Structure 1
Amino acid sequence: MHKPLIILLLLVAFGCKTPEARRPVSVKSGSFIDASIARNKKLNSKEYASIKKLLEQQNQEYIASESGFWYYYNTKIEVDSLKTPDFGDIVNYNYNVKALNGKLIYSTEDLKTQNYAMDKQELFTGLREGLKLMKTGETATFFFPSQKAYGYYGDENKIGSNTPIICEVTVNSITQDE
């Protein structure tokens, strides 16, 4: 009679064991991320050097933006009454896209006149930030490193992966958001 009682006590004692944490099968380190960061830094410095060299060859006074690209005004409007676009304003503009070697990728005719609702629609980062700097009637030439242009994927058409570009942009009008 004591045997079933002992077995029952043993089952209760070993059945109440606290669960142990499971260990991961493999441990991941940050080596992939570290390698990716190193690759991107190298790519960025190479692109920046190419753009800087190109800018030095041009006989223009360029501006380094806070957003990580360079530009100069082909046509600058000095009138203070004209404003740059704010959130939601509709910007009507034309632009073209060139490779750093000057080869035309997309002409103004290819891209047609565009309307862009400021920060409410999709547009590549560099152009979106560039339009914020412009007034109606201005034309500017922008030098975008690939991360400010079409990045790793390109435009999946004529612009390849990690391709820095030059865009000449003309703002035709800015319609204030109501």
Structure 2
Amino acid sequence: MGSASQSSRVDPADAQEVHELAFEWAMSADTKDWDRMRQILAPKLNIDYTDVANQVFTDISPDDWIKHSESPRVLGGRRVSTQHLLGAAKYIKVSDLQITAHYQIRAAHVRWKDDDRTQEGLKGHGHGEMVQHYTKIDGVWKLSGWKPTVFWNEHDFERYMHFGLTQPLSEL
């Protein structure tokens, strides 16, 4: 394993800031705290969910992304529980205003059969790599995009996703 060139090394303070943004991203998605998520996002996002849901979002605004995410079809609603665990990380300085981070990820997903979450329904857990892009805007690091790559899934992730995207909203 080679060492990073001096020009591609990320300053430890910047690495800590983007590490905290990654934590905020995962926690805001898992707790459905959309205001918390909005605070960490850049004005334009590039999100590639080709591996997960065959969807790509180019130059989407934080408000439009959150509107999409908070739907019961995706992450919203009482019947969806998730936990996005980010593991070991590698940070790459792209420029003074851009950092790319590579994380190990395990993303657990459960759709409950009832609003009280007493009967577990479909579940699917993804394992892979999450690449996140950060941009410094007015001196503050913001999350500007991400792309998960799936290595393998547990349970029936494809069915979990298909169910959420195809069922009537009244059944979610």
TM-score range, shorter chain: under 0.3
Q: Which has the higher contact order (CA 8 A, sep 6+)?
A: 1
The structure with the largest alpha-carbon Rg is 1
Please report the TM-score for the alignment, with normalisation by the length of structure 1.
0.23
Whose strand fraction is larger, Structure 1's or Structure 2's? 2
